[in-house]
Amino acid sequence: MSPVLVFCIVLLVLYILIKYNWDRRDLYKLSWKLEGPFALPIIGNAFFFLFNSIEDTIPIAFDLLKKYNGILRGWMGPQLWIFTANPNDIQHILSSQKITHKGAAYRFFNPIFGQGLINNNGQLWRMHRKIIVKSFSQDFLSEYMHIFHEQSKVMVANMQKEVGKPAFDVMKYVQLCAMDIVGEAVMDVKLNVQSEHNMEVVSSLDNIYMLIHDRILKYWLHPDFIFENTAKGKLQHKVVNYLRNFIQKNVLRKQEEVSNNNSIKCKSTLETILHTLNDNPEAMSKQGIIDEMITLFAAGEDSISLQFSWTLLLLALHPEIQDKVYNEIQSVLGDNENFGRDDLKKLYYTTMVIKEVSRLFPVAPFIVREVTEDFPIDKVVLPRGTSVFIGVMYVHRDPSHWEYPNKFYPEHFLPEAVAKRHPFAFMPFSAGARGCIGKEFAMLCMKSMLVTILRNFQLQADGTINDIKLKVDIIARSMNGYNLRLVQRINTL
Integer Cα distance of 159 and 354 in angstroms:
21
Contact yes or no for 216/79 (Cβ under 8 A): no
Number of separate helices (H) and strands (E) present in the chain: 22, 11
Q: Which H helix or E strand runs over 370?
A: strand 366-370
Nearest one of 394, 380, 361 to 482, comparing CA atoms:
361
Buried b (16+ CB within 10 A) or exposed e, 391-419: bbbbbbbbeebbeeeeebbbebbeeeeee
Distances (CA, A) of 156 to 204, 315, 333: 25, 17, 18
8-state DSSP, 459 = E
State how far Cα 248 lies from the chain centre. 23
State how far Cα 210 lies from the chain centre. 13
**DSSP-assigned states of every residue in 248-316:** HHHHHHHHHHHHH-TTPPP-SHHHHHHHHHHH-GGGS-HHHHHHHHHHHHHHHHHHHHHHHHHHHHHHH
> What count of other Cβ atoms lies within 10 Å of the Cβ of residue 193?
19
Q: Which H helix or E strand runs over 488?
A: strand 483-488
Which residues contribute to the annotated binding site for heme?
436
- What is residue 392's three-state secondary structure? helix
Contacts of 440 by beta carbon, 8 Å cutoff, 6+ apart:
136, 141
**DSSP-assigned states of every residue in 80-130:** EEEEE--HHHHHHHHH-SS--SBPGGGGGGHHHHTTSTTT--HHHHHHHHH
Nearest one of 158, 213, 191, 199 to 365, comparing CA atoms:
213
Integer Cα distance of 250 and 142 in angstroms:
24
Which residues contribute to the annotated binding site?
436
Integer Cα distance of 261 and 251 in angstroms:
15
